[in-house]
C-alpha cells in the first residue's frame, strides 16, 4: 500500500514537469485507477485488521451487506445506510 501511495504522489509531482506528459500517455489508464485501489486497500485494512491479525466482526458483516447492495445497484446513500444498519445490528446482538 505504501508503494501505491508513493507512486501516486510521485506521478502527481512528475505531472508538473516535462516528464509528466510522456508518463501520462503510457500509464494514463493505470494512474486513473490508483485512487480506487488505494481506497479499496484502506477499506480492507480498516475492516479486517486488528492488532496485527485478521479479525471478523460486525465490520465484516457491514462490508458484506454493502457489497450486496452495490451488486444490486443500489444508490450510494442506500449502500452506506445498509452497511451501517447491518454493522449496528450485529454489534447490538453480540
Q: Cell 516535462 sits at which residue?
A: 18
pLDDT at 56: 85
| pTM of the complete model beyond 0.85 | no
pLDDT at 18: 61
Burial class of residue 62 in the structure, from the number of CB atoms within 10 Å of its CB (0-12 exposed, 13-18 middle, 19+ buried): buried
Q: Please give the average pLDDT of every successive group of 10 residues along the chain, which has 94 residues.
A: 74 65 71 81 84 84 94 95 96 92
Backbone angles phi, psi at 57, to 5 degrees: -140, -155
Amino acid at each position: 500500500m505504501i508503494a501505491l501511495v508513493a507512486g501516486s504522489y510521485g506521478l502527481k509531482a512528475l505531472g508538473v514537469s516535462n516528464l509528466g506528459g510522456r508518463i501520462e500517455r503510457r500509464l494514463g489508464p493505470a494512474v486513473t485507477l490508483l485512487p480506487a485501489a488505494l481506497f479499496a486497500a484502506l477499506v480492507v485494512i480498516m475492516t479486517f485488521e486488528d492488532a496485527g491479525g485478521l479479525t471478523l466482526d460486525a465490520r465484516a458483516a457491514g462490508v458484506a451487506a454493502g457489497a450486496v447492495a452495490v451488486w444490486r445497484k443500489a444508490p450510494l446513500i442506500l449502500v452506506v445506510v445498509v452497511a451501517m444498519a447491518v454493522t449496528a445490528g450485529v454489534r447490538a446482538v453480540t
